[in-house]
Chains A and B, each alone.
Chain A
Amino acid sequence: MRNLLLFLKRYNSFFVFLFLEILCAFLIVKYNHYQRTQFLSSSGVLTAGVLNVKNGVTNYFSLKQQNEILAEQNAALLEQIINSKKDIPKQEMLFIPEPEIVTRKKYEFIPAKIIDKSTHKLHNFLTINRGSDDGIYPQMGVVGPRSIAGIVHKVSKNYATVMSVLHKETHISAKIKKNNHFGSLTWDGQNQFIVQLNDVPNNVPVQKGDSIITSGFSDFFPEDILIGKVEAVSRLPGSNFHSIEVELATVFRNLSQVYVIKFNDYQEIIDLENATINE
């Protein structure tokens, strides 16, 4: 026994080292590998306060650029309003729809500000300054001024973390605009400007420069939101599918203002699907 104690005393630092590294290994597996970031994550109370203050300062540096992006988006929206008015024939304008139909919006956009983000890891997250108090819940889609940004992951009272498109586990249902063929969008973790569109069969014509948009099949995003443009198409030997590289329209490095999409029928659809499965 005495020898054992002497042994422990002699190599005490080695045992402290061993203990701490095992603790680290445990933490890494628990909090990172399966992306279970609920505890100690940046939506935590401890860090969100500091990050918020930091954001209050750093916001000013990119104001000019953000203004330009928002102005660009405003212009596009104005264009849409004007064009849609012209499309409606005069006699139909006289028909007054029931108030129920007018006030019921299928999608609502909740503006949010990014207070923290990463772009250079394999699993990238954004932290936004809206939480459950603002009606955010997990699995909501998040879009930037130019295109999609990610999917809400965890929500605390005033903050939420968003699984960025640049996250290896993110899958988004997408389609090619010109011929409506569907595919699944993933990221291989290499280049923060390029994502991959999978599951598009070889016989579908795809060219460089084709627009990729959301399909509307998932509950996260409405149909027809721009994702990006085809950057390169190649065919893997022995595969029946195209290998398509898509250049994202969202530049994550200077993304700061986003909108969380509230899908008002979400709960109804989920309940219906659950009822069907449990039948």
Chain B
Amino acid sequence: MNNNPILVNALRFLGLLMLQVLVLNEIELHGFVNPYIYPLFILLLPFETPHWLQLLLAFFLGLMVDIYANTIGFHAAATVAMAYIRPFLMQMFRPSGGYDNKEHPVMFTMGINWTIFYVSSAVLLHHVILFSIESWSIVNIPETLIKIVIGVILSVFIMMLYQFILVPKQ
């Protein structure tokens, strides 16, 4: 994160949104699940970001994805819920030394174990809400559960890959 955090995050917002809409939404494995990478934007926001701002950003990011996917509200609801629990997750996975003098919850500063726990629990909540809204009934629960599990594995994998490749190492 070399320069202005606002600029970096604005670019990441656009970049992840376009990556999601133009590339990942085209991947329909067996017509079954899509991997999602855009929630990573919320997960990578600096520690000091005000919580209400995180929620608003989550809402707009989700809504943008919704507009392109013709599913108004689905992604927005899931992403807002994920942004809401983000501080609680950080509290839960708090390392023994706390988050002293660390600015960004990225893999480079936090280590791979912490990042995997943090990312996958957030993505799990996101996918549970997203797929529950999408199925909109209690009839096909087993199918929804399978979708959630496979979706979480794929999305977390892609998010970790993104952090390995594209998040600069200071």
Interface residue ranges, A against B (CB under 8 Å): 12-14, 16-17, 20-21, 23-28, 30-33, 37, 40-42, 44, 46-47, 50-51, 54, 58, 118-122, 125, 161, 189-192, 253
- CB atoms of A119 and B31 under 8 A apart: yes
CA distance A44 to B31 in the complex (A): 25
Q: Tell me the nearest residue of chain A to B18, going by C-beta.
A: A50
Interface residue ranges, B against A (CB under 8 Å): 22, 26, 28, 31-34, 51-52, 55-56, 58-59, 62, 67-74, 76-77, 80-81, 83-84, 133-136, 140, 143
B29 to chain A, nearest CB (A): 9
- CB atoms of A31 and B73 under 8 A apart: yes
- CB atoms of B70 and A120 under 8 A apart: no
Contact partners of A28 in chain B: CB under 8 A: 72-74, 77, 133
A-B contacts, 15 listed (Cβ < 8 Å)? A14-B84, A17-B80, A17-B83, A20-B55, A20-B80, A21-B77, A27-B72, A27-B73, A28-B74, A32-B73, A41-B70, A119-B31, A120-B33, A161-B70, A191-B31
Q: Tell me the nearest residue of chain B to A58, going by C-beta.
A: B26
- CB atoms of B71 and A120 under 8 A apart: no
Given contacts A13-B52, A16-B55, A120-B34, contact A21 B80 (CB under 8 A): yes
B164 to chain A, nearest CB (A): 27
- CB atoms of A27 and B76 under 8 A apart: yes
A54 to chain B, nearest CB (A): 6
Secondary structure of the A side of the interface? helix
Contact partners of A47 in chain B: CB under 8 A: 67-68
- CB atoms of A190 and B74 under 8 A apart: no
B106 to chain A, nearest CB (A): 23
- CB atoms of B143 and A190 under 8 A apart: yes
CA distance A190 to B140 in the complex (A): 10
Contact partners of B134 in chain A: CB under 8 A: 121-122
Q: Tell me the nearest residue of chain A to B69, going by C-beta.
A: A118
B19 to chain A, nearest CB (A): 13
Contact partners of A41 in chain B: CB under 8 A: 70
- CB atoms of B84 and A13 under 8 A apart: yes
Contact partners of B33 in chain A: CB under 8 A: 120
- CB atoms of A120 and B73 under 8 A apart: no
A180 to chain B, nearest CB (A): 33
